[in-house]
C-alpha cells in the first residue's frame, strides 16, 4: 500500500509538471492515450477523449460537451481511487476487532483461572498467576495487532483523501480549460495549450 501511494503521488507530480509546462494538449493526449494511464494522466485522457468525441457531434452545446467531459473525468477519478482503497477495509477490520478478540481471550483465561481456584480448596497467588498471565497475553496480542492496523488505516485514508483533493482540483482546472476551448469560435482543440 505504501508503494502504491508513493507511486500515485509521484505520477501526479510528474503529470502536473508536464501538463502545466505549456505543452499542446493534443500532443499530451497522444503521449498517454495508448498507455492506459492512471491517476491524473488517466483523468486527463478520459476528459480529453470525451471532449474531442462530443465536440464533433452536431447539435451539442458547449455546456453539454464540457459536462460530458467532466463526467468522464469523474468516472476515471473514482476508478483510480477505488483501486487505491483496495484492502483498506481489512485494516479497518483488524483495527476495530482485534481488541475485542483479545478481550475475549482475557475473559476466557480469567474464567479458567477462577474455575481452577474453585476446584481446589487452597487458592494461592502462585496457582492463579499463570492463568491470569496467559489471559493478559491475549489482550496484548490483540492490541499489538490493532494499534498498527488503526495507524496505517488512518494514514492511508488521509493520503487517499489528499490525492483525491489534488485530482478534484485538477479536474476543475482542466474543465475550465475545456470550457474556454469549447466557447472559442474556432473550436480547434489543437490550438489550446495549458499555460498558467
Determine the average pLDDT of the residues in 51-69: 88
Query: Residues 27-49: what's their mean pLDDT?
Result: 91
Residue 193's DSSP bridge partners are: 24
Judged by phi (left if over 0) then psi (alpha if -120 to 50, else beta), residue 108 lies in alpha
Cell of 188: 480547434
Residues 6+ apart with CB under 8 A from 182: 51, 55, 62, 65, 66
Whole-number percent of the chain with pLDDT over 70:
92
pLDDT band at 193 (very low <50, low <70, confident <90, very high): very low
pLDDT for 129 equals 76
Q: What digits encode the pLDDT tens for the residues 126-161?
A: 777 777 788 788 888 888 888 888 898 899 999 999
Give the pLDDT band (50/70/90) at residue 49.
very high
Residue 97 has what pLDDT? 86
pLDDT band at 98, cuts 50/70/90? confident
Average pLDDT over residues 38-47: 94
**pTM for this prediction:** 0.74
- Residue 106: the pLDDT is 83
Amino acid at each position: 500500500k505504501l508503494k502504491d501511494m508513493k507511486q500515485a503521488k509521484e505520477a501526479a507530480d510528474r503529470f502536473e509538471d508536464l501538463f502545466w509546462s505549456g505543452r499542446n494538449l493534443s500532443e499530451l493526449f497522444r503521449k498517454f492515450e495508448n498507455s492506459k494511464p492512471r491517476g491524473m494522466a488517466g483523468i486527463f485522457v478520459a476528459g480529453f477523449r470525451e471532449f474531442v468525441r462530443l465536440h464533433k457531434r452536431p447539435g451539442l452545446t458547449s455546456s453539454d460537451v464540457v459536462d460530458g467531459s467532466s463526467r468522464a473525468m469523474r468516472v476515471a477519478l473514482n476508478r483510480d481511487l477505488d483501486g487505491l482503497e483496495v484492502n483498506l477495509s481489512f485494516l479497518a477490520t483488524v483495527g476495530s476487532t482485534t481488541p475485542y478478540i483479545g478481550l475475549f481471550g482475557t475473559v476466557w483465561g480469567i474464567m479458567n483461572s477462577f474455575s481452577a481456584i474453585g476446584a481446589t480448596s487452597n487458592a494461592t497467588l502462585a496457582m492463579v498467576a499463570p492463568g491470569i498471565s496467559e489471559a493478559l497475553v491475549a489482550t496484548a496480542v490483540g492490541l499489538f495487532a490493532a494499534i498498527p492496523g488503526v495507524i496505517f488505516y488512518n494514514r492511508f485514508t488521509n493520503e487517499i483523501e489528499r490525492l483525491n483533493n489534488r485530482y478534484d482540483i485538477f479536474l476543475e482546472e482542466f474543465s475550465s480549460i475545456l470550457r474556454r476551448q469549447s466557447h472559442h469560435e474556432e473550436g480547434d482543440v489543437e490550438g489550446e495549450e495549458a499555460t498558467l
